[in-house]
Every structure is written in structure tokens, then in C-alpha cells.
Chains A and B, each alone.
Chain A
Amino acid sequence: MKPIQIRGYCDRPNARPGESLDFFVSSPHAGSYRASLVRLIHGDRNPAGPGYREETVAAAFAGDYPARAQRTQLGGYVEVNDPDAQLAGRDGFTLHLYLWPTLPTERQGVISRWSDADQRGWALMLEDGRLTLLLGDGAGVSRVSCPKPVFPETWYSVVARYDAAAGEMAIEQRVVLNSVNSRFGPVVDLDGDCEHAGAGCAPAARAVPVVIAGLAEAETPARTWVVDNYNGKIDRPKFYPHKLGDADVARLHGGEAVAGARAEWDFSAGIGRDGIPSDRAVDASGNGFDGALVNQPDRGMTGWNWAGREEHFVHAPEQYGALWFHDDSLDDCRWERDFSFTLPADLPSGAYAVKLEQDGATDRVPFFVVPPRGKPAARIALVLPTFSYLAYANSQVMQAAQTAQAIMGVLTTLDSLDIELSTHAHYGLSTYDYHRDGRGVQYSSWRRPILNLRPDYRHEFGSVWQFPADLHLVDWLTARGFDFDVLTDHDVHAEGAALLESYAVVISPSHAEYSSWELLDAYEQYLAGGGRGMYLGANGFYWIASRHPDKPWLIEVRKGESGDQAWRARPGELFHSTTGERGGLWRHRARAPQKIWGTGYTAHGLDVSAGYVQMPDAADPRLAWIMDGIDGDAVIGDFGLVNGGAAGLEVDRVDYALGTPPNTMLLACSFGHNENALLVPEEQYFVYPGISGRDNPLVRSDIVYFTTRQGGAVFSTSSMAWCGSLSHNGYDNNVSRMTGNVLKRFASEGALEEVVEG
């Protein structure tokens, strides 16, 4: 198997001429590497297609750079600076917090002011499944452990005390389980309350921060590295600079306030209607020990006192005081920068990559150049769905999910990138994966090497997917001589319909699955205002995604209730921390894709694709320009690079009840899907036999067209495989013909005939 090699990333996906992008590179091998700029045209190396195509572009940054290995900090935690050692506890202390561990049998730091390299300071730990307090003075380590191990996903109130005068330390835990806050309920006769005490040495005050959900590896002035990261929830941790009495401890266990905390972190502080999009952990004591969240722990999570009556943190913020930490979360690799690239003023819009080469190993770090503000260079815009690229970033489903091969209907083929991903955890996970502790991944970041965002990557699902699939369209546009600008979801989210209105036609490629409210607004307003849209994909505009307001390179997704779900948000945890909005499917928030594009997700058939049969509207003389050059009885797209047909992978259809415009013209429907092509869960209501492509007429892709106000129109082909058929037979085929007919007409200045009845 191929070992780890040179890899890189950049700070954001999109940039305009004149702006600068930062690049970060790591290699396990010393020496130097060469960096250059390439424009990406076609990535799919399938020998039946055009093959790999890129063009080298001169760039000022191109050249040789020293190679170095850069370390990545994985795992979420909170770091609290304590330069004056006010939280060092040498004169005694009391810690209190609520704990809901997910992997309690592993050694983990819960809260600490501890240097693990020399075993000095204090640390509340999980060791051998038991809560343990460590005190280290340099000469030795004192340790007391609760005698009863903790159950996973069960809330405990935990108190640890050190009495400096008496040289004693103690730890105790109380189960604080209710009907809804833990894995099981009160019917279990759980006996988890216990305590233990012993002699304790004075903790040494090392120059380390307080770490919530881990341990400082050592005193390292430049940057703290955290080890033994915790997995699970922590709620309301507090530090008192003395030993509290038993009466006060009893009050803490009961959830009552006890005055005198030197630090009291309230993770719910800041919750509002717009969520809690902050990396700040507020110290509610008033002493200024605010903490910094690192690697995006899950926010807006149910706390120890969640009563189950409210499901949105806005309505009961006091019950959402938990952060859920994972030892494999990652919001930014935080590598040191290798070089910057200031985009020249004349760099054309397009898909590019920085190519990194070292000793025969190559990596390509993609980014997207959008035109200067207010200066479109073409009448056609291609919107690359960077939110969806992020949602899938570094997915490892085929290597982790038992059912994945059944879903795909194939025995999987993996390549070296897949192996590198699953073997080396430091690239982080996608929103299709689970954290090691079983929680679905809800945040995804651009600031890391994204190995499945490489132009020639054949996805673990068995076909090109997302960016490499969208290059099918980039190649076709290029080969057919269409001038087009590239935009990204990030641009459209930020600038809205005003950005799209610069273009006669806007194209959404193979799989724009993840959308923000702002993205839907932009397309809807553009199309309603006379814009022309081509939706050349499927399962688009499906999941609710939000962009972090302060970290635009990071998105949030919470899957739940229904849909093609890789995971399901737990009860009370469906609302996005970064915006406060409800997660899940847009169709469940009255914004089904049918309302904008005429069609929406209906089925997936990921092993074999099909072609389309024409419907009566294809012969309507008002649409003859769309069908020009295509025989009236021809099957459309029974060929292609994606499983042999233009209708495949995931497909969409008309649904008037979900908002397909009444004046929609149905040009063609796909036929010939197999047993592994199945209705999606939200279409099933009850499960029943007969939901496959062999016997269910809802398993199909629809090609539709409708006109909107002011000369606007929408053309949707409703299949992820569509663009994979464009290059067939040297680009001379009926998929290419139909797409070209529509694009030329949409991009022209001529008016479109309104198509309505009556």
C-alpha cells in the first residue's frame, strides 16, 4: 500500500484576481518539493473517456520549497490561559462538572492543568473506566479513583477536591440520569454513586493552560499540544480555589449554585436565535477565564438537565450547556504557511490546483478562481458546489459502514487515496462519517488536505463523484468552446442573486446536494427575475447546510428524521449551532428543490445507469429547439462514463405536491433501472416490497423544462450521471446535443417563448 506522502491545503476554496491564497504543505520526507499552478479541465482517467487533462499556468509562486513534516492537532478541547497560575490549585481546590462519557474505558483527560510529559499539576481523568483525580508535584503522582466505573452516555455529577492543609484528595460521582438525558432510563436499577479519598501531594504549577477535554502534552511556550483527548459531553465545569464543604458539594450535585468559583464555564452563554457560532467558552464567574474552543466541539448539545420538553436550544438555553468533544474532530490543520499566491489580475476564472511534486509523489490542491467583482467575463456561470464538496470531504463510508456496499450495490474498489485516508486519521472526517465515539460528524472544514477533492479521484462509491464528476462538465464546456465563469457556493451564499444576475445562464453541475438558506434564495430570486438555470445534476438542494459566520471555510450539517441519512441527529440536537436553524431536509422546511428546479430527489441506483425515453412534450413544437437533432424515437443517454448511462447514481423527478411548477414540460423519463435502484426513505412512508427500479414508476429521472417570469427558464436533467455522458463518441451524442441546444439558447440574447397553457 502506498505510504503517506506530500499533501497540502489552502485557506479557502475561492478567490478573485488580486486576492491572495495561503498554501500549507506537509511531507514526511525531507528535502524539497516543487510547486506549480495548473488549470484543471478533466480528471476522470477512465480510458473510455477523454482522459486526464490539465494545463500548466505560469505563476510567481512556482518553484522549489523546503519540505517538512507538519503536525496536526486532532480532537476538540477548550484551552484556558492561566499565566498567573490562579487555577493551579496549590492551596487546595474543588472541581465540579457534569460528565456524559462515550468511550469511558480509554484513558482520557476530562479537565486538567497538567503537563503530561513530567506528570505535574492536577488532572481529572478517566482511567480504566473510572473517574480519577491525579495530583503531581514532580516527585510523584497521587491518585484517587471512584470505585465504580461509569456507564457510557450516562450523565454523572462529578466533584474532585484537594485539601492542601490536610494533604488529602477526594473524588465522588453521582448519577443524574432522567428519562431523556442518557442512553437508558430510570427503570434501570443503576447504582453508580460512589466516592473515594486519599493522601494527595501539592500539584505543581507548570506553565500550561487549563485544558477541558484533554491534557497538555508538555510545557511548550509556542503552542500547547493536547493529548488523551476526551470523548463525550461536559457541562458547566467549575473551579473553586479551595476545598468546598460537604454541604456545598451536595448542593452542586443537585444543580444548585455555590458562590465563590474562580472559574465557571458556561457553554450555553451566547446562545441566541442565530445559534452559538462562537469559539469562546464564557467564564461566568466574572474572573475572565474565558476559554478558546479548538477543533470545533459540537455546540448546542443537550446538557445534563435536558428535560425533553424543548428540542431547540433557543427555547431552553439553560438545558443546552454541553459541549460534545471527539478526539478525531478537526476544524483546521493549523499548519505553518509554506507560501502565498496572489492571483494575477488577468488570471481567467476557472478550476485550478497547486501541483506539489516530490520524489515521484504528486498532490494537487484545488481552488477556484472567480471573476473580479462586478466584471463577469462570460454570459455563462458554472457554480461549483463547494458546500457539497465539504460535506463529502474525506469520506470513508465504504471502509467503515457495514451497509455501504449494500447501498451501492457493488463490491467496492478502493485506491491508494482511500487507504491513506483511513489509515491516517489526521485528515479528518466528512459529514458521511461517524466520530470514533459513534456521533455523526456535523462540521467539515476546507483547511486540511481533502484527498477526495483531487481531480482524478475515483470515489470510494465506485464512480467519479462531486468535483471530479463536475470536471466532466468543465471539459465539455471547454471542448465545445463555451466561455464560462466559475463561481462557488461560497460566492453565491455571500453575494446572493446579485452575483448570478450578471449572467444569462447559471449551471448547477452533478451534485449540489448541500445548500444554505442564502443559496436557495439566490437561485430562486435569480430565476424568478428572468434568469435561466440549468440543473445538470441530481439530489441537489437537499440537505440543509450552514456556513459558519466567522469561519467561512467550515460548514455544519445535522442530518435527521428522514432522507438518505448517513447518520441521524439525536433527540433535541437537530438545530444548527452556527445559525440556529433547523437541520435536515429542505423539503421538510417547505423549500423542496422541485420549487426551484422542477425536480427533486427520488431514488438512487449506484451500480448501473440507464437511458431516457421521450415523453409527449418532447414533440411539442414550442420545444423543438431543445430536441433539435435528436430523433423522435431515440433513447437519450443510454451510454456514458458513469455506469453506462446518463440516468444514474442519484436521480430526481417531478412532484407537483412538492412544488413542481404547473407549467413544467416533461421531455423524458429514464427507464431500465434495476433492483438496486431504490426509492429514497422520505418517499417511502411505510416500507414495502416493490420500491426498486424494476417495478416502481417513481424510480426514474425526469428531464424537464419550464419558463419563468421576464424571459427566464429552467432546464433540469435530474441525474448525477448526466455529465458523464457528454463526452461520449467524441462529444457527438444526444446528451451533448440536448445540453448544447439549451445552453446556446439560454446564453443567447434572444427572447424565450413563454410556455404556459390556457
Chain B
Amino acid sequence: MPVVDPLCYRDKTVAWWEDFLRRRAAELAPLVTPAVLAEHLADPRGARQPHSQALRELLDFIHNQPTDGKSFAYAARPYAEYRLSVMHGRGSPPTIVAEAAYATEREAVHAVFLERLQRLGLLSGKNPGERA
């Protein structure tokens, strides 16, 4: 039986991506502690001292998530007002997901961190790797 219709075929690696996400998130879930969250809030870039191993692993994981649906800090008024937003790919305007405004970039970036942990099931500790 020859191969005829491209629309009949799909990317089978999607299943692996989902499986990997669940497995890795389950490994990372215990690393989300009040201390790690406080560490990020105090110094999101690790500018004052290098991040702990736990925070680095969490950041590497959430940095690498797919672009669509990724949250980011929006500089509504640079150096004065920041908001939390979500990307939807080129050609589609992002959305502001919370009306909360942040006075500093540091606070907004921390809000992004929390949002991504939440979205990946890592903040609640329930069903890690199941995208919210």
C-alpha cells in the first residue's frame, strides 16, 4: 500500500513530548519549595549570587516550553509599570492575563515564573506536567 495523502499522517513524536513533559515535571515538582520561590523573587536573574541547583533546574525547564501560550512580562511603561501577558504566536496579539500591575520588572518576572509553574502543574503539586 503506497503512501498517498500527507493529511493522513501526523507527527508521532507529539506523544513523546507529552510523556517527557509529565515525567520531567514529576521529577521537578519536589523542588518547588517556599525557599526556591523566595529565592527567585529576590533575584530572578541570579545577579547577586548564582541560583541554587533547584532553581536552575526549574528555570531551564520553563524556559524551554513551547512559545505558544508562554507568559512574559510586558513593559507597559518601561521602568514604571509591568504586566503579565501570554504569547499566541506571530500575527496574533498577546493577551494580558491578569490586571495586576507590577511596579518593577523583577516582580513581573516573578509573576511569570509563578504563572508558568502553575500552568505546568508545579505550583499546586497536583498532576505535574498536565498543562492547565
Q: Which residues of A contact B (CB under 8 A)?
A: 1, 45-47, 104-105, 129, 148-152, 188-192, 396, 398-406, 409-416, 419, 422-423, 425, 436, 458, 607-608, 643-644, 674-675, 694
Neighbouring A residues of B92 by C-beta, 8 Å: 423
For B66, the chain A residues whose CB sits under 8 A away are: 402
Chain A residues with Cβ below 8 Å from B89 are 399-400
- Bound-state CA distance A406–B67 (Å) is 12
Given contacts A47-B79, A152-B6, contact A1 B94 (CB under 8 A): yes
Partner of A1, one of B2, B45, B93: B93
B interface, size bucket: 35 or more
Do the beta carbons of A643 and B67 come within 8 Å of each other? no
The reply to whether A413 and B109 contact each other, CB–CB distance below 8 Å, is yes
Residue in B closest to A674 when the chains form the complex, CB atoms: B50
A1-B74, A400-B90, A425-B91 known; 7 new pairs, CB 8 Å cut-off, are A45-B79, A149-B6, A400-B67, A413-B72, A413-B108, A415-B74, A416-B75
Of B6, B60, B89, which is in contact with the most chain A CB atoms at under 10 Å from its CB?
B6
Asked if A644 contacts B73 (CB within 8 A), the reply is no
Among B2, B113, B116, find the residue whose CB has the most chain A CB atoms closer than 10 A: B2
- Determine whether the beta carbon of B79 is less than 8 Å from that of A402: no
Contact yes or no, B4 A423, CB < 8 A: no
List chain B residues, Cβ under 8 A from A425: 90-91
Give Cα distance in the complex from A104 to B21, angstroms: 31
Closest Cβ neighbor of A433 among chain B residues: B90
Most buried by B among A129, A148, A675: A675
Check B46 against A190 for contact (C-beta < 8 Å): no
B7: Cβ under 8 A from any A Cβ:
yes
Main secondary structure of the interface of A (DSSP, over half): loop
**In the bound complex, how far is the Cα of B105 from the Cα of A46, in angstroms?**
12
Beta-carbon contact of B90 and A411 below 8 Å:
no
Mind listing 11 A-B residue pairs with CB under 8 Å?
A1-B93, A129-B6, A400-B67, A402-B66, A419-B74, A423-B92, A425-B90, A458-B78, A607-B47, A608-B45, A674-B46
Interchain CB contact (< 8 A) of B73 among A149, A409, A412, A419: A412
Whether the pair B87, A399 counts as a contact (CB closer than 8 A) is yes
B78 with A405: CB separation less than 8 A: no
* CB pair B87 A675 closer than 8 Å: no
Residue of A402, A414, A694 touching B64 (CB-CB under 8 A): A402
B6 touches A151 (CB 8 A): yes
Among residues of A, the one whose C-beta sits closest to the C-beta of B73 is A413
Complex-state Cα separation, A406 to B57, whole angstroms: 11
B126 at the binding interface (Cβ < 8 Å) = no
> Which residues in B have their C-beta under 8 angstroms from that of A46?
79
Cβ-defined contact, B67 with A402, below 8 A: yes
Query: What residues of chain B lie closer than 8 Å to A644, measured between beta carbons?
Result: 47
B63 to chain A, nearest CB (A): 4
9 smallest CB-CB distances across A and B, nearest first, come from A191-B2, A406-B63, A405-B63, A415-B75, A413-B73, A189-B2, A423-B93, A151-B6, A411-B112
Chain B residues with CB under 8 Å of A412's CB are 72-73
In Å, the complex CA distance between A325 and B71 comes to 33
Contacts of B45 in A (CB 8 A): 409-410, 607-608, 643
Contact B72 A414 (CB under 8 A): yes
Cβ–Cβ contact A411 & B67, under 8 A: no
Cross-chain contact A422 with B91 (CB below 8 angstroms):
yes
Contact with A along B1-18 (1 / 0, CB 8 A): 111111100000000000
Known: A401-B67, A402-B66. A413 touches B74 (CB 8 A): yes
Cβ-based interface call for B56 (8 A): yes
**Residues B46 and A608 in contact, CB atoms below 8 Å apart:** yes
Are B75's CB and A402's CB within 8 A? no
Alpha-carbon distance between A2 and B48 when the two chains are bound, in angstroms: 34
When distances are taken between beta carbons in the complex, the residues of chain A under 8 Å from B127 are none
Name the residue among B2, B85, B87, B96 with the largest chain A CB count within 10 angstroms. Answer: B87
- A401 to B75 CA separation, bound complex (whole angstroms): 20
Decide if B74 touches A409 in the complex (CB within 8 Å).
Answer: no
In Å, the complex CA distance between A411 and B82 comes to 13
B50 contacts which chain A residues (CB < 8 A)?
Answer: 674-675, 694
Interface residues of B in 80-114 (CB under 8 A from A): 82, 85, 87, 89-94, 96, 105, 108-109, 112-113
Return B45 CB to nearest CB of chain A, in Å: 5
Interface residues of B in 2-53 (CB under 8 A from A): 2-7, 44-47, 50-51
Q: How far is the CA of A397 from the CA of B49 in the complex (A)?
A: 28
Closest B residue by C-beta to A425: B91
Nearest Cβ on chain B to A26's Cβ, whole angstroms: 19
Question: Contacts of B124 on A, CB cut-off 8 Å?
Answer: none
CB nearest to A436 among chain B residues = B90
Note all chain A residues with C-beta closer than 8 A to B59: 409, 411
Who on chain A is nearest to B82 by CB? Answer: A413
Interchain CB contact under 8 A, A608 and B47: yes
Q: Which of A398, A399, A414 contacts B75 (CB 8 A)?
A: A414
- Complex contacts, B67 vs chain A, CB 8 Å: 399-402, 404
Q: How far is the CA of A400 from the CA of B92 in the complex (A)?
A: 12
Take A402-B64, A413-B73, A422-B90 as given contacts and tell me if A129 and B78 are in contact as well, using a CB distance cutoff of 8 Å: no
Q: Which residue of A lies closest to B96 (CB)?
A: A1
Residues in B with CB closer than 8 Å to A694 are: 50
A674–B59 Cα distance when bound, in Å, is: 14
Given A105, A191, A419, which contacts B4 in the complex, CB threshold below 8 Å?
A191
Minimum CB–CB distance for B24 against chain A, Å: 14
Nearest chain B CB to A675's CB is how many angstroms away? 6
Instruction: Contact check, A396 vs B90: say whether CB atoms are below 8 A apart.
Output: yes
Q: Are B72 and A411 in contact (CB under 8 A)?
A: yes
Do B94 and A419 touch (CB < 8 A)? Answer: yes
Bound-complex Cα distance A415 to B77 (A):
8
Known contacts A189-B3, A191-B2, A411 near B60 by CB under 8 Å: no
Closest Cβ–Cβ distance, residue A272 to chain B (whole Å): 37
Q: With the chains together, A608 CA to B76 CA distance in Å?
A: 24
Within 8 Å CB of A411, what residues of B?
Answer: 44, 59, 62-63, 72-73, 109, 112-113, 116
Partner of A45, one of B70, B78, B93: B78
* CB proximity of B121 to chain A, nearest CB, Å: 18
Task: Tell which of B1, B3, B105 touches A413, judged by Cβ atoms closer than 8 Å.
Answer: B105
